[in-house]
Chains A and B, each alone.
Chain A
Amino acid sequence: MKKTLFDKVWDSHVVRSLKNGPDVLFIDRHMVHEVTSPVAFLGLKKRNIKVLFPERTFATADHNTPTIDQHLPVKDKLSHNQLQALEKNSKDHQIPFWGLGHEKNGIVHVIGPEYGITLPGATIVCGDSHTSTHGAFGSIAFGIGTSEVEMVLSTQCIMQTKPKKMRININGSLSIGVTPKDVALYIISKMTTSGATGHFVEYSGNIFTQMSMEGRMTVCNLSIEMGARGGMIAPDEKTFNYIKGREFAPKGKNWVDAMKFWKTLSTDKGAEFDKEFYFDGSEIEPMITYGTNPGMGMGISGGIPLCNDSNGGGESFRKSLNYMKYSEGDHMIGKKIDYVFLGSCTNGRIEDFRAFSKIVKGRKKSDNVTAWLVPGSHKVEKAIKDEGILEILNDAGFELREPGCSACLAMNDDKIPPGKYAVSTSNRNFEGRQGPGSRTILASPLVAAAAAVTGKISDPRKFL
């Protein structure tokens, strides 16, 4: 039978299938962070069991962590408790723990690939919906809830009904100023926030094969924003070159064996998908969102759709625009903004800082803008310094913060104040996502940079 990439990885991990029920799926790698794990560890304690495979489990602190003065004790008592709980739980169960201050610390979805934990053909889960990021390597990676975290800690398995399969094909060539983030926001604007619910997506076409690994991660990261459980891209030479030599990647004979397996990981010709979509890459503009879900996006030069011709439905669409204090038909270009956030598991990698610095180089940060530039990990932070990007940023009036999830979900002190507008390279523009009352405009690092130097929504193509 002809199989898709997704079938190949899924089927090879099924321990057993229940009749009219879910599959018992074996999980190769489990990433753990401080927010969604403490109750799962409590569950293990109640059952008096240990983590079954600590060597397949990795823990890092990211959601709660401050992004300045990380060497000092965490002031917020609740955050402090949660970070301590993760450290203690990791120690009790002999799980590798990369907490605050550790050289490998960073956002869970940034460090997984950086250290070769993320591998093609692997099943990867984490109590975080953006686990889909790791699909960029041809792995099945998806976010899970705390009960499921407890399942994986205790048995290295999860019970899941096999999702349906979707393929999104994009060919053509991307115009100048169009980044992987724009490709993803374009797809979501076409699919809506629920268009891929119940499906696992494979991205296919030359747009994706030509993308860097960082770019593929950005695209797969945002799969969840159209409701998909995850997204994946078939591994190729670019993937193998990225992984080779990384700390947890297979070595020697194991590498040779792994390569044999990885080279089988592509969709067979003629394999069937439940749904298939085709888009033209050359039609994609730099994108921007105007509403309160990631599906409410458009080309930056366009106008906000009218309430009656949107996908969102009249009442909910109006509620959304009312929250943003925007009107239907408004053009986004020229709208004043207050904050810029560069970072997150979506756009907190080195390539994103390179893109941002390309536009701010030789220019100055606008006085009315507060900018938070947060690397996804210490490794990214180091590359920013090594490549001379920090100097460019500093010269333009920007400062670099320390790694973490930061203002993406504002669990730490990095909160956008009520009523303020933030151009963010993160993944969600939900009401209050970046702080109570905050208004988020999602965009690429290039659009964020153009906004940071002008103080308003600006077309990045004018600066390239």
Chain B
Amino acid sequence: MAYDKFKILNSTVVPMPIENVDTDQIIPARFLKATERKGFGDNLFRDWRYDSNNLPIKDFVLNNKNYSGKILVGGKNFGSGSSREHAAWAIYDYGFRCVISSFFADIFRNNCMNIGVLPVQVKPEFLENIFEEVNKDPQAEILVNLPDQFVEIKSTGNRSKFEINEYKKENLLNGFDDIDYLINIKSEIINFSKSTPL
């Protein structure tokens, strides 16, 4: 599925300094029943966001008016668990375009990149710096620069490089997806299939 190009993002952030945020929290299984990619943002972090009477839980960060923005900053091992791409869809649909953490689960990271959400992995100390800055000033802005592969805390000028493979980077910069690439080499794939033993 085609998505918006990602180049440079300058935004306030939503901090979530919790470790091992799993995809069942990002979107609980009972909200996976759609047959179209619609409305998943409403159920992002559903059970942390709303109580059993569907009333907002005040101390959860998405219900705190002080915090908003296109960048979600999460604790270590963000996105562990289920392979549901719905978790990445919910994050995108809610309005985030980037997730920053010190460590991501593999499938979640791939899912994000496949739909145009940039996962940015930084060192634990840098992640702490972001949390500290946002704690001091909820309006603190973070700059995410994909072409030059760095993230910057604007108020302090503190920068950190991040890794991304060149192919995925090109895709995100141009809004391409893997299927476009694979369809172009279909005849090579069909030839290859003839030599596989199983």
Contacts and interface: CB of A to CB of B under 8 A. Distances in A.
A154 B188 contact: no
Contacts of A128: 82-83
B47 A431 contact: yes
Interface residues of A, number: 83
Given A38-B36, A39-B37, A150-B179, A15 B192 contact: yes
Interface in A181-221: 193-194, 197-198
B84 A147 contact: no
Given A145-B83, A258-B197, A258-B198, A411 B106 contact: no
A455 to B, nearest CB: 26
Contacts of A157: 182, 189
Contact of B107 (A144, A151, A316): A144
B75 interface: yes
Contacts of A143: 83, 107
A53 B193 contact: yes
Nearest to A149: B85
Given A21-B166, A28-B196, A122-B198, A194 B77 contact: yes
Interface string A403-444: 000000111000000100000000010111100110000000
Contact of A227 (B17, B30, B105): B105
A26 B179 contact: no
B110 A145 contact: yes
Sorted from nearest, which 7 A-B pairs have the closest CB atoms? A21-B167, A145-B85, A78-B33, A147-B114, A145-B111, A143-B83, A155-B182
Interface in A148-165: 148, 150-151, 154-161, 163
A16 interface: yes
Contacts, number: 210
Interface of A: 13, 15-16, 18-22, 24, 26, 28-29, 35-36, 38-39, 42-43, 46-47, 49, 52-53, 63-64, 76, 78-79, 81-82, 85, 119, 121-122, 127-129, 131, 143-148, 150-151, 154-161, 163, 193-194, 197-198, 224, 227, 229, 250, 257-258, 261, 293, 312-313, 315-316, 319, 409-411, 418, 428, 430-433, 436-437
B34 interface: yes
By size class, the interface of chain B is 35 or more
B186 A155 contact: yes
A260 B177 CA distance: 38
B192 A26 contact: yes
A411 B185 contact: no
A409 B19 contact: no
Given A156-B193, A197-B77, A316-B18, A161 B165 contact: yes
25 contacts: A16-B188, A20-B165, A21-B166, A22-B165, A38-B35, A39-B37, A63-B32, A78-B33, A128-B82, A128-B83, A129-B107, A143-B83, A143-B107, A144-B107, A145-B107, A145-B110, A147-B178, A148-B110, A150-B179, A151-B179, A315-B17, A409-B82, A428-B24, A432-B28, A436-B52
B56 to A, nearest CB: 15
Contact of A47 (B47, B86, B179, B198): B179
A193 B33 contact: no
Nearest to A126: B83
Interface in B109-139: 110-111, 114-115
Contacts of A433: 24, 29
Nearest to A18: B167
B175 interface: no
Contacts of A436: 28, 30, 47, 52
A412 to B, nearest CB: 9
A13 B196 contact: yes
Interface of B: 1, 17-20, 22, 24-25, 28-30, 32-37, 47, 52, 75-77, 80-86, 88, 103-107, 110-111, 114-115, 165-168, 177-179, 181-183, 185-186, 188-190, 192-193, 196-198
B77 A159 contact: no
B179 A82 contact: no
B106 A197 contact: yes
Contacts of B47: 431-432, 436-437
Contacts of A15: 185, 188-189, 192
Contacts of A315: 17-19
A57 to B, nearest CB: 13
A22 B114 CA distance: 13
